[in-house]
Amino acid sequence: MCSPEYFAVEYAINPWMDVTTPVDRDLAVKQWDRLRETLVGLGHEVHLLTAEQGLPDMVYAANGGFVVDGTVYGARFKHEQRAAEAAAHHAFYEAQGWRFIAPSETNEGEGDFAYVPEAHGGLILAGHGFRTEIPAHAEAQEALGRPVVSLRLIDPRFYHLDVALAAIDDTNVVYFPGAFSAASQRVLTQLFPDAVIADDEDAMAFGLNLVSDGANVVLNSEATRLAGKLKAAGYTPVPVELAELKKGGGSVKCCIAELRH
């Protein structure tokens, strides 16, 4: 995770960002701290990436890489405003001793890659359409040695895979069908017949931008309907208030890069 101490909405690179809406940075830090404390309280170890001035989106740490079995496939951001973040993530992973593979193709880390480790032997789900380019899907497959399933995003509000779909345990996912092309919806139905299906209201509340440890699902507190669906499916919803960070187009998942040993 990376503190939002320099967080601001200084430019608009997704439909959620409005440069005329003020951001309360102190409140953003408080909400982010609560998210970090929630993860620690659930028994998870949180490593911190040092925020850098001039990179207001660094708080969205998930976008800086994608880790599977101790190997990191690095990020290469689409927009120049975020390009320098990639080097900070690279340095973090190298300092931690992770195997790092630098990308040649445009991709935004866990923003557009999700890992479902025991589904069909271990699948990477990969989004494209707005940020990550399709050639990055093949590059990730070579880097990580896991089959990659390409999914086309068609709604600019859901510009990253991680605002439309999330792994909720080692075999299953939750997703909003309307974010995907008809063909990609059919692929998801085939791969995950027992998926939890979200609706437009869940998605607009950033409910799908969640993190799950297989039992506890940490999600935006606004996504009350989705929390109910997850509870009915046997998971424990853990709501967290992140209204300030939502102004930049992100929520729980965007703030968390998962380190998979």
Condensed to tens digits (0 to 9), the pLDDT of residues 28-68 reads: 999 999 999 999 999 999 999 999 999 999 999 999 999 99
pLDDT at residue 21, rounded to an integer = 93
pLDDT at residue 183, rounded to an integer = 98
Q: What does the alpha-carbon distance between residue 88 and residue 111 come to, in Å, rounded to a whole number?
A: 17
Q: What does the alpha-carbon distance between residue 15 and residue 208 come to, in Å, rounded to a whole number?
A: 17
What one-letter code names the amino acid at 235? Y
Q: What does the alpha-carbon distance between residue 44 and residue 31 come to, in Å, rounded to a whole number?
A: 18
Is 160 tagged catalytic? yes
Per-residue pLDDT tens over the stretch 196-205: 999 999 999 9
Read out DSSP for 188-218?
Answer: HHHH-TTPEEP-HHHHHTTTTS-EE-SSEEE
Average pLDDT over every residue of 84-89:
98
From 89, 90, 137, 160, active-site residue: 160
pLDDT at residue 225, rounded to an integer = 97
pLDDT at residue 13, rounded to an integer = 87
CA distances from 204 to 52, 107, 120 (A): 29, 23, 30
**pTM exceeds 0.85:** yes
pLDDT at position 6 over 90:
yes
Per-residue pLDDT tens over the stretch 154-177: 999 999 999 999 999 999 999 999
Per-residue pLDDT tens over the stretch 209-226: 999 999 999 999 999 999
CA distances from 2 to 32, 58, 83, 103, 139 (A): 9, 6, 16, 22, 26
Cβ atoms within 10 A of the Cβ of 261, count? 7
Q: Which residues contact 172 (CB under 8 A, 6 or more apart)?
A: 116, 119, 192, 194, 195, 196
Angle at 37 between CA 81 and CA 172, to 5 degrees: 75
Pick the closest to residue 261 from 140, 97, 124, 119 (CA basis): 97
Q: Please give the DSSP secondary-structure letter assigned to residue 62.
A: G
Average per-residue pLDDT for the chain: 97
- What domains, with CATH codes, occur in the chain? 25-255 (3.75.10.10)
Per-residue pLDDT tens over the stretch 174-193: 999 999 999 999 999 999 99
pLDDT at position 9 over 90:
yes
Q: Please give the DSSP secondary-structure letter assigned to residue 106.
A: -
What one-letter code names the amino acid at 107? N
pLDDT at position 140 over 90:
yes
Q: What does the alpha-carbon distance between residue 111 and residue 126 come to, in Å, rounded to a whole number?
A: 9
Write down the residue that tokens 């692929």 correspond to. Answer: 187
From 2, 89, 137, 254, active-site residue: 254
